Amino acid sequence: MRKAATIEKLYLDFDGFFASVMQQAMPHLRGRPVGVIPFETDKPDSTMVIACSKEAKAAGCKNVMGVPEARAICPDIVLVTQRPDLFRRAHNALLNEISCEIPIETVKSIDELACKLDSANIADPRALAKKIKDRLRRNIGEQITCSIGFAANRLLAKIACKVDKPNGVTVWRPEDLPDPLFALPLESIPGVGSRMEERLKAASILTIRDLWHAQPKHLRALWGNVNGERMWYALHGYDIHAMPTSRGMYGHGRVLPPDWRDAANAQSCSRLLLTKAARRMRRDRYYAAKLWLSLDMRDGTWSGQRELPAVQDDHACLVALTELWITACAEIPPRAKIIRLSVTLGELSSANERQLDLFLRDDAVRQKNEVLTNAMDNLNRKFGKRVVSLGPWTPPPGGYAGGKISYNRIPSAEDFW
């Protein structure tokens, strides 16, 4: 394991990405506190602010906050409906501009990325940061700003870029550490959420200084896996690469508008979401062996699952969903208000590793259904929109079902068909 002798990584985080993109696209929002809500509604007090602008954050608002609470803190907040298609286009345009100054090593989310530095950039990181910021301001606009951190590895660079937000630049060379780290609260470390913080406190680790001086094997035991030990080495400046991950599921969720919170409308929405999730799964050449349906209601939750014989076609997925709804409607209160629902396809196998159950053979009917589904995919892809679907297609009010605001997944153009 190598310990970096100098800064090697850049980490860039766009400031209030979703709200700032809206401000760039809509001049009347500029300079005003903006809250992004998930869907168009004439009852905004029943929904959430899922992202807010720099001005709203300065007033005390935060991401994922009830609209009434946000209005109490910031009476002037302007509510706008999310535009995931706009966020996707902005993301691609921003990456194109940044790559003109430095190759992008990895895209961590829709609003974060990391780069590897060359010798010239190591010598003068602030000049690189200025070139990136100037290019974005000149070619994209002044509303979308970013904070940039430089450090020996990706974890330290990510922590550094949060120090001087918004629109800041922070350089942590190895000889500068660990003092700048010790000045931060424990929750500044990625991966230390509220539950982990309680676990660390129970082990008398109350500060980053305590974390720094702990033993790596102790942190491995506290985390319950190797990630705790890897984090210790990363905090100490070692060159730690992210462990490869594999796809575990495909799914979509939706908060339902007030007029859609009955079982019939919720089932229509779940059909659409499942069809979109299955479409994404097919694009990536996976099969699913299990389907989950989850319902959040005012007075409780319900969830159920169905085994699938390693399928990817719409027919098999939708039949299993219908079976789940039959069970759900028999078990939940007749007039239950379903606030949120989610559908998930899991237990995945790739196309070249598909395993079929001995008693659930890939029979001729299933083969025909897969051919039909592939034909529908080809038609939709050819015309660049949804021209055919299996059964009813009833989008809920507010639009963008299956193409919602996303931090960890970059929607494709097909997600909006």
Q: What is the DSSP string of 225-269?
A: SHHHHHHHHHHTTB-PPPPP----EEEEEEEPPGGG-SHHHHHHH
pLDDT band at 365; cut points 50, 70, 90: confident
**Residues 188, 251, 19: CA angle, nearest 5 degrees:** 50
Residue bearing the bigger pLDDT, 172 or 370: 172
Residue type, 217: K
Does position 360 have pLDDT exceeding 60, yes or no?
A: no
Q: Is the pLDDT of residue 189 over 90?
A: yes
Q: What is the pLDDT of residue 82?
A: 87
- What confidence category does residue 358 fall into, taking pLDDT thresholds of 50, 70 and 90? low
Radius of gyration of the chain (CA): 24
Residue 159 belongs to some domain of the structure: yes
**Rounded Cα–Cα distance for residues 326 and 319 (Å):** 11
Residue 298: CATH number of its domain:
3.30.1490.100
The answer to whether residue 409 sits within a structural domain is: no
Complete edge-to-edge strand list for the sheet that includes strand 146-151: 106-109, 112-116, 9-14, 146-151, 169-171
Say yes or no: 165 and 196 in one domain. no
| Residue 175 burial (CB count, 10 A) | 7
Same domain for 269 and 295, yes or no, is: yes
Number of domains in the chain: 3
| Res. 147 pLDDT band, cuts 50 70 90 | very high
Domain shared by 162 and 60, yes or no: yes
Q: By C-alpha distance, which of 157, 115, 148 is closest to 130?
A: 148
* Other CB atoms within 10 A of residue 202 CB: 9
Residue predicted with more confidence, 309 or 90: 90
Residues 169 and 26 both lie in one domain: yes
d(CA 207, CA 200): 9
Task: Name every residue whose Cβ is closer than 8 Å to that of residue 162 and which is 6 or more positions away in sequence.
Answer: 13, 147, 149, 188
Confidence band, pLDDT 50/70/90 cuts, at residue 262? very high
Tell me the C-alpha distance between 110 and 94, whole Å: 10
Same domain, 147 and 194: no
Q: Is 43 a residue whose pLDDT tops 90?
A: no
Is the dihedral angle over the CA atoms 320, 326, 329, 331 positive or is it negative? negative
CA 376 to CA 386: how far, in whole Å? 9
Q: What is the mean pLDDT of residues 227-232?
A: 92
- Whether the pLDDT of residue 33 is over 80: the answer is yes
Domain identity same for 238 and 106: no
Domain of 322 in residue numbering reads as: 251-400
Average pLDDT, the chain: 90
pLDDT at 399 over 80: no
What is the percentage of the chain residues whose pLDDT exceeds 90?
69
Q: Is residue 141 part of a domain?
A: yes
- Among 126, 157, 173, the domain-final residue is 173
Indicate whether 352 and 268 sit together in one domain: yes
Tokens (6 digits) for 137:
């301001």
- CATH number of residue 65's parent domain: 3.30.70.270
| Closest C-alpha to 303, from 325, 270, 319, 322 | 325
Alpha helices by DSSP H, listed for 81-167, are: 84-99, 119-123, 125-139, 154-161
Decide which of 245, 278, 303 is a domain's last residue.
245
Average pLDDT of span 215-231: 93
The domain boundary residue, chosen from 173, 199, 229: 173
Quick check: is 415 in a domain? no
Contacts of residue 290, Cβ cutoff 8 Å, sequence gap at least 6:
305, 306, 307, 308, 345, 346, 347
Instruction: For residues 43 and 96, give the distance between their C-alpha atoms in angstroms, rounded to a whole number.
Output: 38
Residue 80: closest CA among 398, 414, 397: 398
User: Domain check: are 37 and 120 in the same one?
Assistant: yes
Q: So what's the pLDDT on residue 309?
A: 85
For residues 145 and 236, state if they share a domain. no
* 303 token code pair: 């969830």
Please tell me whether residues 167 and 292 are part of one structural domain: no
Please indicate, yes or no, whether residues 261 and 341 belong to a single structural domain of this protein: yes
* Residue 191, in any domain of the structure: yes
Reading across the β-sheet that carries 51-52, which strands appear in turn?
51-52, 34-37, 78-81
* Assigned domain for 413 exists: no
Look at residue 414 and tell me if it is in a domain: no
E strand or H helix that includes residue 290:
strand 286-297
**Is the pLDDT confidence value at 406 over 80?**
no
Q: Are strands 34-37 and 78-81 parallel, antiparallel or unpaired?
A: parallel
Between 32-46, 106-120, 128-142, 318-332, the lowest mean confidence (pLDDT) is in 32-46
Asked whether residue 99 carries a pLDDT value surpassing 70, the answer given is yes
Predicted pLDDT at 120: 93
Three-state DSSP class for residue 204: coil
Please, are residues 249 and 345 in contact by the beta-carbon 8 Å criterion?
yes
pLDDT for position 293: 97
Q: Do 257 and 251 form a contact (C-beta atoms < 8 A)?
A: no
Of 363 and 118, the structure prediction assigns the larger pLDDT to: 118
Examine the domain organization and report whether 155 and 195 are in the same domain.
no
User: For residue 354, what pLDDT is reported?
Assistant: 66
Instruction: Name which of 131-140, 236-245, 345-354, 365-374 the model is least confident about.
Output: 236-245
In a domain, 405, yes or no: no
pLDDT at 40: 77
CATH number at residue 233: 1.10.150.20
Contacts of 166 (CB under 8 A, 6+ apart): 15, 16, 54, 145, 147
Q: Which residues pair with 52 in a beta bridge?
A: 35
pTM of the model: 0.82
Q: Are 114 and 105 in contact (CB under 8 A)?
A: yes
| 8 Å CB contact between 39 and 398 | yes
pLDDT band at 41 (very low <50, low <70, confident <90, very high): confident
